[in-house]
């Protein structure tokens, strides 16, 4: 199987060389033909049908059956997985080239050839990942451990649909559910709120949940901030979101020494009784709810914040994905699941790039 990976570009190069050589030889033969040997071209017919467009050229070498020796997963399952993960990109093409057992018991190696049609000087690249013995996870270079299967996002979708009980806005129907996992002491989570507000406008049929996930190992005041949030939500979802805004507004001053003062003030800005909210936050029942929120995030495979689950598809909200691409991914998942996101074509259209004005030299 090593030969398939190492000779990816040479195999493609050989195929192109053969095609080019054929076209050269045909052209040479046509050029070398004497006038006496040439057949006059027929006169064009006004009633003739237009010529059919040429069939698209397959850029990949054919897959060799001898490299498909593992009992599972099937090619169909791998293709369905890749369609879910990569299918949003219309320029991305791929072909499964090998599914083989490895020396590790039950672990399967998958090799896929990938081509980005729109990229300049596009060349076939190889992607290699390994399927765990239970068939539920894939391990790939740079991707870590991800859920694998024909519908890889379905388990997380069902888990969160049943158990994500944070404050919500938008549609009441959970068919299209967006769950934001956030830590109230996380600076990136604060920055992500403007993005979430825009998402709420662009996808009016989404049920959007704010699910608290305090990263207690790096944010010492996040757990207590979440506990106050639990008590704010018991008042109303509106009170919760106002409380969250108040915490984010004063986030930089949030420390173990100042947390009670800052969190009480945020609660009062939300129309709550500060002392009563503090007392509620210190109860074991409230702490149990926060711990349950942490467990839910962990069970869903979340290990950072902020993260947005789109019907189980996990997307980072830390600024790594441009908003136009984020919109595309959200809509793609809605389309895969056959649900109406409420987004309009105008909303989904990429925003035009504004030219940068530069002063002319004097």
Task: Tell me the pLDDT of the chain (362 aa) as tens digits.
Answer: 444 443 333 322 222 222 222 222 222 222 233 333 444 445 544 556 777 777 678 899 999 999 999 999 999 999 999 999 999 999 999 999 999 999 999 999 999 999 998 777 789 999 999 999 999 999 998 778 999 999 999 999 999 999 999 999 999 999 999 999 999 999 999 999 999 999 999 999 999 999 999 999 999 999 999 999 999 999 999 999 999 999 999 999 999 999 999 999 999 999 999 999 999 999 999 999 999 999 999 999 999 999 999 999 999 997 778 999 999 999 999 999 999 999 999 999 988 765 554 444 44
Q: Are residues 265 and 210 in the same domain?
A: yes
Closest C-alpha to 225, from 240, 214, 209, 210? 214
**pLDDT, tens only, 306-339:** 999 999 999 999 777 899 999 999 999 999 999 9
Residue at 44 is within a domain: no
Q: Are residues 140 and 160 in the same domain?
A: no
Contact call for residues 263 and 247 (beta carbons, < 8 A):
yes
Q: Are residues 260 and 134 in the same domain?
A: no
Q: Are residues 145 and 192 in the same domain?
A: no
Residue at 219 is within a domain: yes
What is residue 57's three-state secondary structure? coil
Residue at 254 is within a domain: yes
Contact call for residues 306 and 318 (beta carbons, < 8 A):
yes
Count of domains observed in the chain: 2
**pLDDT, tens only, 188-233:** 999 999 999 999 999 999 999 999 999 999 999 999 999 999 999 9
Residue at 288 is within a domain: yes
**DSSP output for 288-354:** HHHHHHHHHHHHTT--SSSEEEETTEEEE-SSSS-HHHHHHHHHHHHHHHT------HHHHSPPPPP
Q: What is the residue range of 246's domain?
A: 155-346
What's the pLDDT score for residue 356? 52
Q: Are residues 129 and 143 in the same domain?
A: yes
């Amino acid at each position: 199987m090593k030969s398939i990976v190492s000779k990816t570009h040479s195999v493609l190069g050989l195929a192109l060389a053969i095609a080019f050589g054929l076209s050269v030889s045909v052209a040479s033969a046509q050029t070398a033909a004497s006038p006496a040997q040439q057949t006059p071209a027929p006169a064009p017919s006004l009633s003739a049908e237009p010529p059919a467009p040429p069939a698209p050229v397959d850029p990949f070498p054919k897959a060799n059956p001898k490299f498909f020796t593992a009992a599972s997963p099937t090619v169909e399952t791998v293709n369905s997985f890749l369609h879910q993960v990569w299918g949003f990109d219309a320029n991305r093409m791929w072909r499964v080239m090998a599914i083989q057992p490895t020396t590790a018991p039950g672990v399967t190696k998958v090799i896929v050839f990938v081509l980005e049609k729109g990229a300049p000087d596009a060349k076939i690249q190889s992607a290699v990942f390994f399927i765990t013995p239970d068939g539920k996870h894939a391990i790939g270079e740079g991707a870590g451990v991800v859920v694998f299967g024909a519908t890889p996002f379905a388990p997380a979708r069902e888990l969160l649909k049943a158990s994500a009980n944070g404050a919500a806005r938008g549609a009441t129907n959970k068919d299209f559910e967006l769950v934001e996992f956030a830590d109230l002491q996380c600076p990136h989570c604060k920055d992500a709120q403007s993005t979430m507000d825009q998402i709420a406008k662009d996808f009016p049929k989404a049920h959007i949940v704010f699910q608290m996930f305090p990263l207690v190992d790096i944010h010492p005041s996040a757990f207590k901030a979440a506990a106050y949030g639990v008590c704010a939500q018991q008042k109303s979802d509106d009170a919760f979101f106002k409380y969250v805004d108040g915490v984010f507004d004063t986030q930089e001053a949030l420390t173990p020494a100042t947390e009670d003062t800052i969190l009480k003030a945020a609660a009062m800005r939300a129309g709550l009784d500060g002392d009563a909210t503090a007392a509620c936050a210190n109860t074991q029942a409230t702490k149990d709810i926060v711990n349950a929120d942490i467990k839910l995030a962990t069970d869903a495979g979340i290990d950072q914040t902020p993260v947005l689950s789109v019907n189980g598809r996990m997307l980072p909200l830390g600024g790594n994905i441009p908003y136009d691409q984020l919109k595309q991914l959200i809509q793609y998942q809605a389309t895969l699941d056959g649900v109406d996101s409420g987004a309009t074509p105008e909303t989904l259209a990429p925003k035009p790039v504004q030219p940068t004005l530069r002063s002319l030299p004097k």
